[in-house]
């Protein structure tokens, strides 16, 4: 199916080339250049990833050595009042802020803020986003939300402590009084605003600014993932906003949307209402966090197997199906709230059904690998790692989707292992696949590949052992969010398991230092220069843009002739001496290849 | 992908989609933005529906009744504001110089009237004993109307600023801005109609 | 550099199956309930099914990486023909029907006939009805006493001490007065949230006597971890004797003016 080539002048009129800004503030601080904004999100996200990771290590310390002093200067600094010991109140802050920070202030800015911003205009053949100023505002709004998080830690009555899920009544002023929780709720609202701003840009840009010939079915899968994520963000982050706003009203203006029980006046509100609103956002949110990862995986398996992505259309339609179904499965987070059994069974059926498109994705990836010519580069290793951990994590979802199993497994460490494998580990590994893959294009240098491989192995083995260990603990019945699980006799024998899981976690964390070293040494040291297209792939950012790309991305807006996975074509090999064809490159031979 | 252009005169001046590619992109962005805002208000209406379905009796027996006249007038005020904006846009397309700014000013004033009336309703209910901490009924009322009023305020400020900006005469960008803020206003008015029906009348 | 993948794969497979192993260290808690074995059986079926799927996937990936490496000539297959599409969809459908289908039907059947059939449980002869009020950070329990009415002078009220007879359905109605909690009985494989402003339900039947634990499974504040109760299953005669003497104690200690002690409610009958 070929598309008529548009007159080259049209996109020019839409995207004139502006000269790059001169002042420091306009170039690096209040930049409207999507590539600069991408780097801002990347730094901000990586910083909070470190913070979130530190919080996780403190949680694991508490589970390994309940009630013991956190070692070295860290304990003395963080828990001064209690002599370095993590107390129960501090502990709830740890797991609350760990979850919120990792989801909203680490993975979201890295995968969606940074890679969304960097890749979308470049990969669709545009000069920038549709609304560059809005883009700039979205970063600074996000930065403000990060500041609010940090401020919430200073509150006199303590920071937020009701879990990342912020369920009322515990999260109302009845359960958690003071400015800390309110500031955290405000931070969530503000980061939601930033996300919506960014997502408006992503959705509109993909619709409006694709280069001539870049049909939807020629988009790189990374763009599909990011675009579908943006659509979900646009639709469902506002629902979180409504829940956060109503909670804010309950906390500060005496309203009673969620307050019930002894503190309620005249019948009271409904705490479960919050759960409905939260999970109508929350379930799409997990797909928001994974769709970009799936997209990156879909592209990279093809790139490094040197084979077309198997059944590209099927992959796209599976991602779309998951997107469409994402909100209607939300009730599986609420099976134990006393909901109507018929409603519960409906949610169970839909939850099991949503595994079908996910299976199609996996089969497509596995068939892309099969009969390929696989190069185990660092990005490819991380990509295989994503498939591995998401496979494991996704399968554990089958347990939790059944109500009769959830009777036992709900709110145990099995849930924690499940969502860490699917949401955290998969996005984490995909983020690094993306970083190692696009680092050369972003910065013009190559990260050290040996350090990268070591980073990969420690990460994937560590992840498997840590979160696998959590699955085992949950299977044995250990609840989540327990300051000291060993108050329960039926869990006393799990001390060893928890301690070893913590050791693996500390190792996993230490392994990340390999990346930190690699990152700083390459960026600020000499660093190996990267070629124009070191991975030898055909997407537009590698074939038509400089390294790093110019301010205006493309001197000439390319005209796209093929999809992004043109590999293994003997005619190309014969004519051009390589196994790949660029998206804007004319195919050799008399007939114009147009897929 | 070409922008839709309907050449039918008369009706076209109201229903026509933006003609330039750039304007269509802005229009699409606004549609996406308003979808977000619709979902947020959908969350609020969902909350209202759930709270109300759990309550044994609605409104609760001891709560002061909500007035119908003043909010009803507000509905007309909001719709009149929408009409003023449609007229502003029509005049801009016709090339009128001074009238668009005047229509915008009218719309802004109508918005301010809306807020004043709403404030009056709140004051009278507050005096009658309906307070935000008076339970779910009061929470729904003050919460939803309050959040909506904040959006009206944003609209009033924007329209007022636009009215002042356009006084020397409209230009290309002016038309786009009026169109986009017009969409915002129509959205806020539509939410109000929903609120009036669901909270006051029902 | 590729050999370690085998190690990782093997490690994970081992972990997946170890969970199912008879190793006492990490097994399921002792099952003292009539119906808990259904949960255990379904969990084990799911471990087998998902374990096999995962193993197939890992082996597939390992073979691909080893046998179809850089020196292997890649196939130009795109998989976008009808045959391939049907093949992929068929495979997904088969897995779905076999694994998910089994899970769904067993789960629904278990809920309808064993875990959520409250009406049947309540109306069984010898059923024990108990009201539970969860609060920060303990479990208040109330038995109706000989008069069969809750919130009367002969009620037995206890703190963190749930005593039940063996081989009889125990039906609990649950609420909370402050924040969300969740009653969790690991040795009976059941839990249910305690929601302020509503009454939720849970039922179980013990098949052996003994002392077991009750836990809280919903974060409820700093002392969530300490919200532990004791569940004692007694022979019927001992239970009846305890109930009678506790009820007499309750009647003696009854204070009609202590409103906060009268937190019970009229039992909400479940329609069959």
For C60-107, what is each residue's pLDDT tens digit? 999 999 999 999 999 999 999 999 999 999 999 999 999 999 999 999
Residue B135 lies in a domain: yes
- Token pair in block for residue C142: 């109330």
| Secondary structure letter of residue A479 according to DSSP | B
Would you kindly state where each structural domain of chain C is located, as residue ranges? 3-66+82-115, 119-261
The pLDDT of residue C11 is 63
List the chains bordering chain C where 3 or more Cβ pairs fall under 8 Å.
Answer: A
Nearest CB to A130 within list B25, B42, B139: B25
Interface partners of A (3+ CB pairs, < 8 Å)?
B, C
- Min mean pLDDT across A397-406, B99-108, C15-24, C66-75 is at C15-24
For residue A591, pLDDT beyond 60: no
Comparing CB atoms, the residue among B32, B46, B132 nearest residue A234 is B32
Predicted confidence (pLDDT) per residue in A504-513, tens digit = 999 999 999 9
In angstroms, what separates the C-alpha of A238 from chain B's closest C-alpha? 4
Please tell me which of the candidates B24, B39, B41 has its beta carbon nearest to residue A236: B39
Interface chains of chain B (3 or more CB pairs under 8 Å): A
Is residue B131 less than 8 Å (CB to CB) from chain A?
A: yes
The total domain count for chain B is 1
Residue A181: φ, ψ to 5° = -65, -40
Look at residue B95 and tell me whether its pLDDT is greater than 90.
no
pLDDT at A260: 87
What residue spans define the domains of chain A?
530-595
- pLDDT at residue C59 greater than cutoff 50: yes
Give the confidence band of A169 by pLDDT, cuts at 50, 70, 90: very high
HEC letters along A342-386: HHHHHHHHHHHHCHHHHHHHHHHHHHHHCCCCCCCCHHHHHHHHH
Q: In chain B, pLDDT over 90 holds for what percent of residues?
A: 55
DSSP state of A545: S
CATH number, span C119-261: 2.60.40.420
pLDDT in tens, B108-158: 999 999 999 999 999 999 999 898 888 889 999 999 999 999 999 999 999
- Gap between the Cα atoms of A570 and A525, Å rounded: 41
Answer yes or no: is B171 within a domain.
yes
Instruction: Please give the model's pTM, rounded to 2 decimal places.
Output: 0.93
How far off is chain A from B179, nearest CA to CA, in Å?
17
Nearest to A223, CA basis, from A583, A568, A530, A581:
A583
Question: Which of A250, A300, A407 should we substitute to test contact with C (largest number of C Cβ atoms within 10 Å)?
Answer: A407
Higher pLDDT among residues A3 and A305, named by residue: A305
> The tokens of C245 are what?
């003497």
Q: In this complex, do B51 and A203 lie within 8 Å of one another by their Cβ atoms? A: no
Cα A195 to Cα A113: distance, rounded to the nearest angstrom: 8
CB neighbourhood size of A327 (10 A): 18
Judge: A175–C29 Cβ closer than 8 Å, yes or no: no
Q: What is the pLDDT of residues A17-30, one digit of tens each?
A: 878 888 888 888 99
Nearest-by-Cβ selection for A384 from C61, C71, C88: C61
Q: Is B129 on the interface with A (CB under 8 A)?
A: no
Question: Does the pLDDT at position C40 exceed 90?
Answer: yes
pLDDT band of residue A78 (cuts 50, 70, 90) is confident
A239 touches B at CB < 8 Å: yes
Q: In this complex, is the C-beta atom of B28 within 8 Å of any C-beta atom belonging to chain A?
A: yes
Q: What percent of chain A has pLDDT over 90?
A: 83
What are the φ and ψ backbone dihedral angles of A66, each rounded to 5 degrees? -60, 130
User: Residue C137: is the preceding peptide bond cis (ω within 30°)?
Assistant: yes
Helical spans, DSSP H, in chain B: 12-15, 21-54, 69-94, 99-127, 136-165, 172-195
- Greater pLDDT, B44 or B59: B44
The CATH number of the domain holding residue B143 is 1.20.120.80
Contacts of A10 in chain B (CB under 8 A): 21
Instruction: Write the DSSP symbol of residue A102.
Output: I
**Contact across the interface for A207 and B28, Cβ inside 8 Å:** yes
| Residue A589 Cα distances to A50, A245, A570, A586, C103, angstroms | 52, 61, 11, 9, 54
Nearest to residue A356, comparing CAs of B200, C226, C100, C247?
A: C100
Q: Does A343 contact chain B (CB < 8 Å)?
A: no
Question: Which of A:272-301 have CB within 8 Å of B?
Answer: 273, 276-277, 280
3-state SS, residue A257: coil
Hey, of B22, B32, B58, which one would you mutate to test binding to chain A, going by the most A CBs within 10 A of its CB? B32
Range of the domain at B47: 20-54+69-201
Q: What is the value of ipTM here, to two decimals?
A: 0.92
For residue B33, list chain A residues with Cβ-Cβ distance below 8 A: 196, 200
Q: Is residue B79 part of a domain?
A: yes
pLDDT digits (tens, 9 = 90+) for C85-96: 999 999 999 999
CA distance C18 to chain A (A): 9
Please check whether residue A34 is in contact with residue A132, taking contact to mean a CB–CB distance below 8 angstroms.
Answer: yes
Q: How far apart are CA B34 and CA B85, in angstroms?
A: 17
Given a cut of 70, whether residue C12 has pLDDT beyond it is no
The percentage of residues in chain A with a pLDDT greater than 70, rounded to a whole number, is: 96
**Within a domain: B13:** no
Model pLDDT, residue B7: 39
Contact list, B51 vs chain A (CB under 8 Å): 257, 269-270, 273
Can you count the helices (H) and strands (E) in chain A? 21, 2
Query: Band of the pLDDT at A77, cuts 50, 70, 90?
Result: confident
DSSP 8-state secondary structure symbol assigned to residue A8: T
Q: Would B95 be classed as within a structural domain?
A: yes
Q: Inter-chain contact A402–C107, Cβ cutoff 8 Å?
A: yes
Whether residues A271 and C197 touch (CB distance < 8 A) is answered with: yes
Measured between CA atoms, the residue of chain A closest to residue B25 is A208
Q: Does the pLDDT value for residue A494 go beyond 50?
A: yes
In a mutational test of the A interface, the residue from B29, B34, B132, B137 whose CB has the highest number of chain A CBs within 10 Å is: B29
Rounded distance between C-alpha atoms, residue C68 and residue C255, angstroms:
81
Contact C100 A87 (CB under 8 A): no
Query: Considering Cα of A21, then A27, then A31, then A34, what sign does the dihedral take?
Result: positive
Residue B12: per-residue pLDDT:
37
User: Does the residue B61 lie in any domain?
Assistant: no
Instruction: Select the residue of B32, B38, B139 nearest A257 (Cβ to Cβ).
Output: B139
User: How many residues can be counted in chain B?
Assistant: 202
- Percentages helix, strand, coil for chain A (3-state, rounded to 5) are 70, 0, 30
The distance of B79 to chain A (nearest Cα, Å) reads: 25
């Amino acid at each position: 199916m070929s598309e008529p080539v548009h007159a080259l002048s049209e996109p020019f009129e839409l995207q004139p080339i502006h000269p790059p800004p001169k002042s420091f503030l306009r170039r690096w601080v209040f930049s409207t250049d999507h590539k600069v904004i991408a780097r801002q999100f990347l730094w901000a996200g990586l910083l909070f990833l470190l913070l979130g990771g530190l919080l996780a290590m403190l949680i694991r310390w508490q589970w390994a050595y309940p009630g013991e002093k956190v070692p070295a200067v860290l304990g003395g600094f963080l828990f001064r009042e209690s002599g370095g010991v993590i107390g129960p109140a501090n502990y709830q802050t740890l797991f609350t802020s760990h979850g919120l920070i990792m989801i909203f202030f680490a993975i979201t800015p890295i995968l969606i803020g940074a890679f969304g911003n960097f890749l979308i205009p470049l990969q669709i053949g545009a000069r920038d986003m549709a609304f560059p100023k809005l883009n700039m505002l979205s970063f600074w709004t996000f930065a403000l939300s990060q500041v609010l998080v940090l401020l919430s830690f200073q509150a006199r009555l303590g920071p937020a402590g009701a879990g990342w899920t912020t369920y009322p009544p515990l999260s109302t002023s009845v359960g958690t009084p003071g400015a800390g929780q309110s500031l955290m709720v405000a931070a969530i609202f503000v980061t939601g605003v930033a996300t919506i701003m960014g997502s408006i840009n992503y959705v509109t840009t993909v619709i409006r600014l694709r280069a001539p010939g870049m049909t939807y079915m020629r988009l790189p899968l990374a763009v599909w993932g990011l675009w579908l994520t943006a659509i979900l963000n646009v639709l469902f982050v506002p629902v979180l906003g409504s829940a956060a706003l109503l909670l804010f009203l309950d906390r500060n203006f005496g309203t009673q949307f969620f307050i019930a029980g002894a503190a309620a006046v005249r019948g009271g509100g409904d705490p479960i209402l919050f759960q409905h609103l939260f999970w109508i956002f929350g379930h799409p949110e997990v797909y928001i966090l994974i769709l970009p990862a799936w997209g990156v995986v879909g592209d990279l398996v093809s790139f490094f197997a040197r084979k077309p992505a198997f059944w590209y259309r099927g992959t796209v339609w599976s991602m779309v199906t998951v997107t469409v179904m994402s909100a209607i499965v939300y009730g599986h987070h609420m099976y134990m709230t006393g909901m109507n059994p018929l409603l519960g069974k409906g949610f169970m059926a839909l939850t099991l059904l949503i595994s079908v498109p996910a299976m199609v994705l996996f089969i497509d990836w596995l068939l892309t690998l099969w009969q390929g010519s696989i190069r185990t580069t660092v990005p490819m290793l991380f990509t295989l790692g994503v498939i591995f951990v998401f496979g494991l994590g996704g399968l554990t979802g089958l347990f939790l989707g059944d109500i009769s199993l959830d009777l036992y497994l709900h709110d145990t460490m099995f849930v924690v292992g499940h969502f860490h494998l699917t949401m955290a580990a998969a996005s984490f590994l995909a983020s690094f696949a993306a970083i190692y893959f696009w680092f050369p294009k972003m910065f013009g240098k190559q990260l050290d590949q040996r350090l990268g491989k070591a980073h990969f192995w420690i990460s994937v083995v560590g992840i498997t052992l840590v979160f696998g260990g959590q699955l085992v603990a949950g299977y044995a019945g250990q609840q989540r969010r327990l300051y000291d699980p060993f108050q329960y006799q039926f869990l006393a024998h799990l001390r060893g398991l928890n301690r070893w899981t913590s050791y693996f976690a500390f190792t996993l964390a230490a392994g990340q230092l390999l990346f930190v070293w690699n990152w700083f040494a390459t960026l600020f040291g000499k660093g190996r220069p990267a070629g124009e297209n070191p991975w030898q792939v055909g997407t537009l950012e590698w074939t038509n843009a400089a390294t790093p790309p110019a301010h205006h991305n493309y001197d000439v807006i390319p005209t796209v002739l093929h999809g992004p996975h043109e590999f293994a074509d003997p005619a190309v090999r014969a004519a051009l001496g390589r196994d790949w064809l660029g998206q804007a490159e004319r195919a050799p031979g008399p007939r114009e290849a147009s897929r | 992908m070409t922008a839709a252009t309907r050449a039918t005169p008369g009706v076209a001046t109201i229903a026509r989609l933006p003609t330039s590619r750039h304007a269509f992109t802005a229009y699409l962005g606004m549609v996406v933005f308003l979808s977000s805002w619709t979902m947020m208000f959908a969350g609020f209406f969902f909350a209202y529906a759930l709270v109300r379905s759990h309550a044994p009796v609605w409104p609760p027996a001891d709560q002061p009744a909500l007035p119908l006249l003043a909010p009803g007038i507000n509905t007309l005020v909001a719709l009149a504001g929408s009409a003023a904006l449609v007229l502003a846009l029509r005049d801009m397309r016709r090339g009128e110089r001074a009238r668009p700014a005047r229509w915008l000013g009218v719309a802004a004033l109508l918005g301010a009237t809306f807020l004043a009336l709403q404030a009056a309703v709140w004051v009278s209910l507050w005096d009658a004993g309906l307070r935000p901490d008076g339970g779910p009924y009061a929470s729904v009322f003050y919460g939803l109307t309050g959040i909506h009023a904040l959006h009206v305020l944003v609209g009033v400020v924007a329209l007022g600023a636009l009215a002042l900006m356009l006084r020397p005469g409209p230009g290309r960008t002016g038309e786009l801005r009026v169109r986009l803020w017009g969409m915002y206003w129509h959205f806020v008015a539509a939410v109000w109609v929903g609120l009036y029906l669901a909270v006051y009348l029902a | 550099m590729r050999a370690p993948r085998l190690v990782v794969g093997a490690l994970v497979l081992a972990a997946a199956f170890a969970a199912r192993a008879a190793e006492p260290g990490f097994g399921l808690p002792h099952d003292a309930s009539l119906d808990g074995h259904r949960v255990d059986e379904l969990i084990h079926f799911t471990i087998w099914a998902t374990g096999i799927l995962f193993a197939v996937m890992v082996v597939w990936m390992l073979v691909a990486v080893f046998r179809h490496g850089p020196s292997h000539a890649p196939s130009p297959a795109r998989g976008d023909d009808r045959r391939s599409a049907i093949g992929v969809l068929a495979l997904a459908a088969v897995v779905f029907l076999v694994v998910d289908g089994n899970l769904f039907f067993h789960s629904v059947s278990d809920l309808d006939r064993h875990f959520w059939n409250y009406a049947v449980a309540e109306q069984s002869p010898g059923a024990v009805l108990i009201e539970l009020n969860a609060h920060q950070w303990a479990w208040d329990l109330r038995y109706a006493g000989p008069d069969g009415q809750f919130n009367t002078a002969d009620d037995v009220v206890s703190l963190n001490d749930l005593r039940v007879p063996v081989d009889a359905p125990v039906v609990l109605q649950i609420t909370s007065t402050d924040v969300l909690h969740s009653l969790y009985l690991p040795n009976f494989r059941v839990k249910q949230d305690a929601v302020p402003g509503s009454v939720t339900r849970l039922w179980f039947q013990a098949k052996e006597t003994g002392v077991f634990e009750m836990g809280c499974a919903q974060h409820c504040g700093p002392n969530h971890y300490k919200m532990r109760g004791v569940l004692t299953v007694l022979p019927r005669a001992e239970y009846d004797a305890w109930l009678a003497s506790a009820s007499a104690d309750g009647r003696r200690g009854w204070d009609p003016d202590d409103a906060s002690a009268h937190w019970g409610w009229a039992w909400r009958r479940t329609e069959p």
